[in-house]
Structure 1
Amino acid sequence: MKTLALIPHYNHPATVARVAEAVRAFGLDVLIVDDGSRADCKPVLEETARRQGVAVLYRAVNGGKGAAVKDGLAYAEQHGYTHVLQVDADAQHCLDDTAKLLQAAREHPEAVVCGWPQYGADAPKARLYGRKITDFWNMVHTWS
């Protein structure tokens, strides 16, 4: 199993290096896909690439997280990766769970392995409702 950590990035210069460093600690190669961020993000990304040995792709125009992830998946395929671990640049994912996700992928290499978000009372309503919609469609897919 050859796994790439994919970090879609849009205007998170305060956290992206810390996220990259956390997943590098699990022995993973890292790709940051910058999705047309502000100019002040580029020096942070360049320094992160230089200091941590991560790859960075720059999208000229913001296309949304999905576009950044698709570009990252294409990169992974082109570079011979068999698996991708996608984590957000804003440091909201529990990166301590990385080992559990990688173990699940090793045990079920043909499966899509997803984390389950744990939201605090301060979570924005849009995020909570979005999760409920996603959960609904996952249940519909399971039933079919």
Structure 2
Amino acid sequence: MNKRYITLFVLLSISFLSLVRAQDYTELALQGIAAMEQEKYEEAEEFFQKALKLEPANIKNALLFSNMGTLFRMQKKYDEAIEAYTYALNITPHSLPILLNRATVYMELGETRKAYIDYCQVLDLESENIEALLMRAYISMTNRDYV
């Protein structure tokens, strides 16, 4: 009988801790977004980093990395933005918004070949994507690649 109570207590404790941990993760992510909207960039990055450390295997980390990419892009930290978007794509390789965001950063850096590759990946996933079609055409025109 005592073993049952102990087992039940342990299971309930684990369930409670995982629930609290999930709430903390979500709260940290939301606080990061709020700080980002208020242009408190360092604070936002800290919240995102804490959430990532709290649950490093969470599938939602793709969103955190994507938000960090946008955060870095807003600060003109383009290399960090590309790195963050790439981490996000390692988790969700078929995410159109993340591919488009990374391609935009590549364009801002003048790395049109890498941007072109991302736009092609977008079109492989969604052949009618207007942004990818227009940007790929723009890159082809600027490179005088009329084929």
Q: TM-score, normalised by structure 1?
A: 0.30
In proportion to residue count, which structure has more strand?
Answer: 1
Q: TM-score, normalised by structure 2?
A: 0.30
In proportion to residue count, which structure has more helix?
Answer: 2
Q: Which has the higher contact order (CA 8 A, sep 6+)?
A: 1
